[in-house]
C-alpha cells in the first residue's frame, strides 16, 4: 500500500491512522485515556525543556493540548478539569523564560491587570466556603488568564506559513481520535435521536456544545488543508476523508454554535485568499471554492438523510414537529440579560468574578453558568471588563495592518469572538486560538530572509 506514497505522505497517513486507532483503543478501555492525557503533558514538557524552545515547541505542545481537551474530558482522561488551560499557562511561561517575549505586548499586561479588581471583589462577595470560592474563581477566571498569558507569548512572534499549518495540524490530530470514538459510541443515530435539541448521546455522552466547538475547529483545520497543504492527490484524499468524517460528527451533535463558527472561519479564509491572490491564484481559489461547496453540501444532505430531516429542523430553530421554537438561543439570552443588568447596576467594578452565577442561583434556585464571555466580563468586571474587551478586539486588528501575510489572523479572531458568545471560555480553545492571531507569519522561506527578534526576558 505504501509503495506509491512519498515519505511525507506515508508519515502523514501514519499520523492519521495512529490517532484513529487511539480513538478505538480508548473506546474499549477508558483507562488508556488517562495514560494518554498524562503522556501529552510530560512528553510535551520534556521536548520543550530539551530543545529550550528553539523551534517554538511551546506552540506545538499547546496546540495539541487544545485539540485533545474535549476528547480527554469526554473520556475522563483529564487529570483536572482545567488541565489544558493550566498546561498552556505553564508551557508559555517556560517558553518566555527560554525565548523571551515582545516588549510591545503591553496591551496584554494591561488586560491581565484589568482582571484583578473583579477577582478581588469576587473573593469578598461570594457566599461560599473557602474551598468552593477557590474552585469557582478558578473556573471563571482561568480562561481569560490563559488568553492573556498565551497572548504575551505569541505577540509578534515570528513563524513561517508552513509552521503555522503544522500548529493547526497539531490541533486537528486529536480530533481524528475523537471522531473515531464518536462513531463507535453512537453507531446508529436513529436509536438516540428523539428531537432537535443538542444531543449528548451523539456527543460521546459529553456536553454537545463543547464537542461541537472542538469538531467545528477540526473541520476548519482539515478543510483548509485541502487548499493550503495538499500538494499531492494522496494528501488531498486523506484530508478530504478526515474532513468529511469530522464535519459529519460535528453536525450530528445537534449543537449549532461550533459548526457555524467553523464554517464562518472557512468563508473568511477563502475570501481573504481569493482577494489577495493574483489572477491565476483566483482561478485556483475559485476551483477550490467549488470543491468546498460540493463537499459541504454533500455532508449536509447525507446528515439530513441519516437524521431523518431533523438536522435541517434544528438549524431552522424548529422542533421535531416543524414548529418554531420560542427561543433561538435555548434560553441563553436570559442569562446574558441578567449579566447586562448587573453591569448597568454596577458599571464600574461589576459584581465580582463568579458572583453572576450566585445571583442566578438566588433568583432561580439553579446553578446556571454563563455561556457568553462578553456579557460575563461586563457583568462581573464592569468598566474594567469593557476596557479589556476593547483591547482584545483592537490589538489583533492593528497588528494585522503590519502583517498581512498572516492569512489566518481574522479566522482566529472570529473563532474566539463567536465561540465566547455561545460557549464562554469553558475550554482552552478560544484563549489559545485568539493568541495565534498575534503571531507574525511569513509566507516566504525563512532561509531567504534574516529575522531579527526584538524580545526580552
Q: What sign does the dihedral 44-141-152-431 (CA atoms) show?
A: positive
DSSP string, 218-269: HHHHHHHHHHHS--SHHHHHHHHHHHHHHHHHHHTT--HHHHHHHHHHHHHH
* pLDDT for the residue 358: 78
CB 108 within 8 A of CB 146: no
* Cα 412 from chain centre: 9
* pLDDT for the residue 328: 55
* pLDDT for the residue 298: 93
Q: Choose between 259 and 321: higher pLDDT.
A: 259
| Residues forming a β-bridge with 441 | 159
Whether the per-residue pLDDT at 43 is higher than 50: the answer is: yes
Whether the per-residue pLDDT at 450 is higher than 70: the answer is: no
Q: Predicted confidence band at 290 (pLDDT cuts at 50, 70, 90)?
A: confident
Q: Choose between 8 and 396: higher pLDDT.
A: 396
* pLDDT for the residue 216: 96
Whether the per-residue pLDDT at 282 is higher than 60: the answer is: yes
Q: Choose between 319 and 373: higher pLDDT.
A: 373
The structure's pTM equals: 0.92
Q: Predicted confidence band at 176 (pLDDT cuts at 50, 70, 90)?
A: very high
Q: Please tell me the distance from the alpha carbon of residue 215 to that of residue 245, in angstroms, as a whole number.
A: 10
Q: How many domains does the chain have?
A: 1
Q: Predicted confidence band at 365 (pLDDT cuts at 50, 70, 90)?
A: low
Residue 42, class by beta-carbon neighbours within 10 Å (0-12 exposed, 13-18 middle, 19+ buried)?
exposed
Q: Record the cell numbers describing residue 166, joined without a space.
A: 503544522
* pLDDT for the residue 129: 52
Whether the per-residue pLDDT at 456 is higher than 50: the answer is: no
Q: Please tell me the distance from the alpha carbon of residue 86 to that of residue 128, in angstroms, as a whole number.
A: 24
3-state secondary structure of 61: helix
Domain, as residue range, for 145: 2-456
Mean pLDDT: which of 76-85, 102-111, 316-325, 446-455 is highest? 102-111
Q: Please tell me the distance from the alpha carbon of residue 188 to that of residue 306, in angstroms, as a whole number.
A: 9
Whether the per-residue pLDDT at 367 is higher than 80: the answer is: no
Q: What is the DSSP letter of 456?
A: E
* pLDDT for the residue 262: 95
Phi, psi values for residue 30, rounded to 5°: -65, -20
Cβ neighbour number for residue 232 with a 10 Å cutoff: 13
* pLDDT for the residue 444: 65
DSSP string, 274-340: HHTS-HHHHHHHHHHHHHHHHHHHHHHHHHHHHTTTHHHHHHTTB-TTSPBPS-TTTTHHHHHHHHH
Whether the per-residue pLDDT at 398 is higher than 60: the answer is: yes
Amino acid at each position: 500500500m505504501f509503495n506509491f506514497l512519498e515519505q511525507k505522505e506515508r508519515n502523514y497517513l501514519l499520523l492519521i491512522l495512529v490517532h484513529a486507532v487511539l480513538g478505538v483503543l480508548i473506546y474499549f478501555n477508558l483507562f488508556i485515556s488517562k495514560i494518554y492525557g498524562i503522556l501529552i503533558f510530560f512528553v510535551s514538557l520534556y521536548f520543550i525543556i530539551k530543545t529550550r524552545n528553539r523551534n517554538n515547541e511551546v506552540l506545538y505542545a499547546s496546540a495539541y493540548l487544545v485539540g485533545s481537551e474535549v476528547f480527554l474530558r469526554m473520556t475522563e482522561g483529564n487529570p483536572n478539569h482545567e488541565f489544558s488551560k493550566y498546561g498552556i499557562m505553564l508551557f508559555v511561561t517556560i517558553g518566555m523564560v527560554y525565548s523571551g517575549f515582545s516588549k510591545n505586548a503591553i496591551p496584554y499586561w494591561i488586560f491581565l491587570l484589568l482582571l484583578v479588581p473583579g477577582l478581588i471583589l469576587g473573593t469578598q462577595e461570594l457566599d461560599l466556603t473557602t474551598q468552593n470560592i477557590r474552585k469557582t474563581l478558578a473556573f471563571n477566571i482561568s480562561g481569560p488568564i490563559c488568553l492573556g498569558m498565551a497572548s504575551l507569548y505569541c505577540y509578534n512572534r515570528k513563524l513561517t506559513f508552513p509552521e503555522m499549518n503544522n500548529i493547526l495540524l497539531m490541533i486537528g490530530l486529536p480530533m481524528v481520535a475523537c471522531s473515531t470514538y464518536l462513531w463507535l459510541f453512537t453507531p446508529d443515530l436513529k436509536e438516540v435521536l428523539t428531537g432537535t435539541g443538542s444531543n449528548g448521546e451523539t456527543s460521546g455522552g459529553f456536553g454537545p456544545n463543547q464537542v461541537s466547538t472542538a469538531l467545528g475547529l477540526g473541520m476548519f483545520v482539515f478543510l483548509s488543508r485541502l487548499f493550503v497543504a495538499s500538494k499531492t492527490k494522496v494528501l488531498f484524499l486523506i484530508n478530504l476523508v478526515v474532513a468529511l468524517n469530522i464535519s459529519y460528527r460535528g453536525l450530528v451533535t445537534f449543537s449549532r454554535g461550533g459548526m457555524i463558527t467553523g464554517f464562518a472561519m472557512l468563508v473568511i479564509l477563502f475570501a481573504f485568499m481569493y482577494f489577495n491572490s493574483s489572477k491565476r491564484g483566483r482561478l485556483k481559489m475559485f476551483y477550490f471554492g467549488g470543491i468546498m461547496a460540493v463537499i459541504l453540501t454533500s455532508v449536509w444532505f447525507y446528515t439530513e438523510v441519516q437524521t431523518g430531516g431533523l438536522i435541517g429542523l434544528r438549524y431552522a430553530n424548529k422542533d421535531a414537529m416543524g414548529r418554531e421554537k420560542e427561543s433561538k438561543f435555548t434560553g441563553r439570552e436570559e442569562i446574558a440579560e441578567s449579566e447586562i443588568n448587573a453591569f448597568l447596576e454596577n458599571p464600574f467594578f461589576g459584581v465580582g468574578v463568579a458572583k453572576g452565577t450566585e445571583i442566578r442561583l438566588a433568583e432561580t434556585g439553579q446553578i446556571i453558568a454563563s455561556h457568553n464571555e462578553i456579557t460575563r466580563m461586563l457583568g462581573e468586571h464592569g468598566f474594567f471588563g469593557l476596557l479589556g474587551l476593547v483591547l482584545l478586539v483592537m490589538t489583533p486588528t492593528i497588528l494585522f495592518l503590519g502583517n498581512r501575510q498572516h492569512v489566518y489572523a481574522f479566522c482566529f479572531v472570529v473563532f474566539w469572538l463567536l465561540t465566547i458568545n455561545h460557549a464562554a471560555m469553558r475550554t482552552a480553545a478560544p484563549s489559545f486560538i485568539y493568541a495565534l492571531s498575534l503571531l507574525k507569519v511569513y509566507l516566504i522561506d525563512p532561509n531567504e530572509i534574516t529575522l531579527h527578534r526584538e524580545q526580552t526576558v
